[in-house]
Structure 1
Amino acid sequence: MKQVLKLLKSNPKQLFLIDGIGAIISAFLLGIVLVRFESFFGIPKQTLYLLATLPCFFAMYDFYCYFNTNKNIAFFIKAIAFVNICYCCTSIGFALYHKETITSLGWSYIFAEIVIVLLLALLELKVANYKTN
Structure 2
Amino acid sequence: MEFYKLKANPKRLFLLDGSGALVSAFFLGLVLPSFGPLCGMPKNVLYLLSVIACIFALYSFACYFFLRRNRKPFLRGIALANLSYCFLTIALLCRYSQSLTIFGWTYFGLELFIIGILIRFELKYASVR
1:43 to 36, 41, 44: 41
Letter in 2 for 1:74: K
TM norm structure 2: 0.96
- Report the CA distance between 1:71 and its aligned residue: 2.5
Q: Which residue of 2 aligns with 1:78?
A: 76
- Rounded to whole Å, the distance in 2 between the matches of 1:67 and 1:50 is 26
Letter in 1 for 2:18: G
Q: Which residue of 1 aligns with 2:119?
A: 121
Listed as ranges, the gaps of 5+ residues in structure 1 are none
Letter in 2 for 1:85: L
Q: Are 2:113 and 1:110 equivalent residues in the alignment?
A: no
Q: Which residue of 1 aligns with 2:67?
A: 69
- Rounded to whole Å, the distance in 1 between the matches of 2:57 and 2:120 is 18
Listed as ranges, the gaps of 5+ residues in structure 2 are none
TM norm structure 1: 0.94
- Pairs aligned (count): 129
Q: Which residue of 2 aligns with 1:99?
A: 97
- Rounded to whole Å, the distance in 2 between the matches of 1:105 and 1:63 is 30
Q: Which residue of 1 aligns with 2:56?
A: 58
